[in-house]
Amino acid sequence: MNFKFDLLKKDRESQARLGMIQTAHGVIKTPVFMPVGTQGTVKSLLPEQLQNCGASVILANTYHLYLRPGQDLIKKLGGLHNFMNWQGPLLTDSGGFQVFSLGALRKITAEGVIFNSHIDGSRHLLTPQKAIAIQEALGSDIMMCLDDCTPYPATFSETQKSLDLTAKWSKLCKQAKTVNDQALFGIVQGGTYLDLRRESLEKTVALDFAGYALGGVSVGEPKEIMYDIADQITPLLPPEKPRYLMGVGTPEDIIHGVSCGIDMFDCVMPTRCARHGLLFTNKEKIVIRNARFREDNAPLDETCDCYTCKNYSRAYLRHLYIAGEILAMVLNTIHNVRYYLRLMEEIRAALREDKFTEFKNNSIKLKGR
């Protein structure tokens, strides 16, 4: 198997870790942020632009690619790496969260999830075995088990039932896996109940996956609950395996997650915010349409080394956004993605230099972090 995780260093004052994941398509330095390429593309960016931003791994969505254009076509055309012209590592989620998001359009059964396509209304059944078969056809380096994403709020009994279903599906996913070059991660559920989180963790770890994720967070629960889950559960995960906090989050969420021992993050926030004109800087969050930037000749962030900040002013970016130009989305997304990836570079540097606690304390004082 081409997948391997090396734990290089542990922080002396927190649970933070420095590591490296080896895959068939390259090395991933951790802690890492994975830009989200839902439909085989990170919206508005070329693969070369992603590389220039410092991306080492991106995430693609099983649910969307299954519905359109279909995993069989992608496999026929050489797999997802070739199809989207991204030769670095790829992680695919199982589609569980997207199906969860469909609400009334889906029905959960012991066999799997019955849902209606958001595209054409066609009816589908996504089973654990099918989720693995789709991801194996896509050829991702890291696959995720199909899980039942517990909503918030949920009662203890509802959460227990959801947890049991995830545990059952995890076993079926592990049994369905046929390709050695693709790593499979298990997902810990349990909602907001720490004892159920621990139960889910024990059941998931017993199956000996290549890595483990905390799922069912950032689904509407208060931030302090999400932080408590990360604080309490992450250190219980096997230290020799990578740890993934799914769908998180803001820069401050990521820094907190790293301090708990999380290695991997993903979120649509940097790209979605960019398309809506909300830009991250080390001093503040900038709403670029605001009139105060009309004559501002400064870059978005003087400390940023991205293509956008090197070449364009706030005034020009505001003009593009107000005019509805496509270039506004491109330049904004380059900046926000680079901001997130630069944050991870700074975190890794701080860990190497035994300065993570100092970095964390300084960062959370800054507006925008």
d(CA 113, CA 129): 12
| H or E segment to which residue 60 belongs | strand 58-61
Residue 238 in contact with residue 254, Cβ under 8 Å? no
Which regions of 278-347 does DSSP assign to beta strands (E)? 278-280, 285-287
Residue 93 annotated among the catalytic residues of the structure: yes
Residue 263 annotated among the catalytic residues of the structure: no
Catalytic residue among 148, 253, 266, 301: 266
Cis peptide, bond prior to residue 31, ω within 30 of zero: yes
Q: Residue 71, by phi and psi: left (phi above 0), alpha (psi -120 to 50) or beta?
A: alpha
CA dihedral 112, 211, 135, 113 (to 10 degrees): 10
Catalytic residue among 11, 93, 141, 148: 93
| Residue 240: count of CB within 10 angstroms of its CB | 9
Among 320, 282, 284, smallest CA distance to 303 is for: 282
Collapse the DSSP code of 115 into the 3-class scheme (helix H, G, I; strand E, B; otherwise coil) and give the result: strand
- φ, ψ dihedrals at 4, nearest 5°: -155, 140
Active-site residues, by number, are 93, 266
